[in-house]
């Protein structure tokens, strides 16, 4: 009986906490598609490559639409594909991922002579190779350093201006992983990004601290709660798009979060991109994340953030994970 009350208490406290965190999310910080934490296993640390011990395929797609009447229209989409597996002979996880994002912002500015549109097109493609050796400790703990080698090509076009960026980069870090919790740290390494004319963008050192913990009575229990958090702990700037940075507010150091509830094979909760629900089995995981502006039309609580009364907003994300066993 006591256990049932405790479980119910954790459940409702978690729901209230998650909705509170979601309500405090600042949507005014640039135009970006919020990729949900957990949609791709190697988002912030390549050490998760090969963690299942079996080949794993991941798909992700996302879309955001915002409309401010007579002022601005925004459309963004993203697509990502990744594959990773553990190679026993090398005791190393190997992963590869490909990402593509594109967006368009149409703004109207007015003067006495009429309206003049301003169009901003953002496009980039990103490829990454993750190499993560695994060191087992007592058979149930894993220490995994990693290196990620990546290639980026992007453009930022606004009317007659065209800012382009291309080159290779890297990330390094380490992960401590156990059956109940994990904690990892990563930072950007040497990069060679530059514009076609040879100019290099201003470089900002960034590092991430990522952690998660699963509250569960036993490994085979039907119900569990898993909070996860990613903190941007060193850079005073936040990256909006290709070559676009802005000064961080305090809340922007929370890069991503996920509060996930699971009962048997059903999952639900809240993350940095909205409210999610889905299905999870030993081999398959499907998660849909939706954010339609506090279940409404983008006015009310978001007045002044999305342009006031009449502004509409929608963001949707879908991720699929399959483990080959």
CA distance 252 to 265: 33
> Do the beta carbons of residue 186 and residue 172 sit within 8 Å?
yes
Beta strands (DSSP E) in the chain are 56-68, 72-87, 92-111, 114-133, 135-137, 141-158, 161-177, 181-188, 207-213, 223-232, 237-241, 244-247, 254-263, 266-271, 274-280, 284-291, 312-323
Q: What is the total count of domains within the chain?
A: 1
Do 72 and 63 contact (CB within 8 A), yes or no?
Answer: no
State both tokens at 21: 């965190």
Distance CA 4, CA 143 (A): 35
Judge contact between 95 and 82, C-beta under 8 A.
yes
Q: For residue 275, what is the domain's CATH number?
A: 2.40.160.40
Distance from C-alpha of 190 to C-alpha of 238, rounded to nearest angstrom: 19
Kindly state the tokens that stand for 76.
């963004």
Give the three-state DSSP class for 70. Answer: coil
| pLDDT score for 200 | 64
Q: Which helix (H) or strand (E) holds 18?
A: helix 2-23
10-residue mean pLDDT series, the chain (325 residues): 51 51 42 77 93 95 80 85 96 96 76 59 91 92 95 79 80 95 89 64 77 90 93 64 49 82 95 92 94 45 42 85 94
Whether residue 241 contacts residue 126, with contact meaning beta carbons closer than 8 Å, is answered with no
Using only the alpha carbons of the chain, give its radius of gyration: 21
In terms of pTM, does the model score above 0.75? yes
CA distance 185 to 175: 7
CB–CB of 150/168 below 8 Å? yes
| Contact (Cβ atoms closer than 8 angstroms) between residue 95 and residue 84 | yes
Question: Which residue range(s) make up the domain with 162?
Answer: 2-323
Rounded Cα distance between 240 and 238, Å, is: 6
Across-strand partners of 314? 65
Burial class of residue 74, CB neighbours in 10 A (0-12, 13-18, 19+): middle
What is the per-residue DSSP string for 34-48?
Answer: -PPTTSSTTSS-GGG
């Amino acid at each position: 009986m006591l256990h049932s009350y405790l479980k119910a208490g954790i459940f409702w406290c978690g729901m209230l906490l998650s909705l509170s965190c979601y309500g405090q999310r600042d949507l005014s910080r640039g135009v970006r598609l919020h990729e949900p934490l957990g949609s791709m296993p190697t988002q912030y640390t390549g050490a998760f490559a090969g963690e299942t011990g079996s080949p794993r395929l991941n798909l992700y797609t996302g879309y955001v639409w915002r409309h401010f009447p007579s002022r601005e229209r925004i459309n963004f989409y993203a697509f990502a594909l990744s594959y990773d597996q553990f190679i026993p002979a090398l005791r190393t996880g190997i992963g590869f991922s490909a990402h593509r994002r594109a967006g368009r912002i149409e703004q109207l500015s007015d003067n006495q002579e009429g309206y003049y549109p301003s169009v901003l097109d953002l496009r980039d493609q990103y490829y990454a190779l993750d190499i993560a050796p695994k060191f087992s400790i007592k058979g149930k703990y894993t220490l995994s350093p990693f290196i990620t080698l990546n290639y980026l090509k992007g453009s930022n076009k606004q009317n007659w201006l065209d800012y382009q960026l291309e080159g290779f980069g890297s990330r390094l870090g380490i992960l401590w992983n156990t059956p109940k919790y994990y904690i990892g740290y990563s930072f950007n390494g040497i990069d060679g990004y530059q514009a076609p004319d040879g100019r290099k963008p201003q470089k900002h050192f960034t590092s991430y601290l990522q952690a998660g913990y699963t509250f569960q009575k036993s490994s085979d229990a039907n119900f569990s709660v898993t909070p996860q958090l990613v903190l941007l702990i060193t850079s005073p700037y936040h990256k909006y798009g290709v070559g676009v940075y802005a000064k961080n507010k305090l809340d922007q150091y929370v890069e991503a979060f996920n509060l996930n509830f699971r009962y048997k094979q059903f999952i639900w909760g809240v993350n940095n991109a909205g409210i999610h629900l889905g299905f999870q089995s030993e081999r398959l995981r499907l998660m849909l994340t939706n954010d339609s502006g506090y279940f409404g039309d983008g006015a009310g609580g978001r007045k002044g953030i999305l342009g006031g009364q009449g502004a509409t907003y929608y963001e949707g994300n879908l991720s699929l994970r399959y483990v080959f066993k």
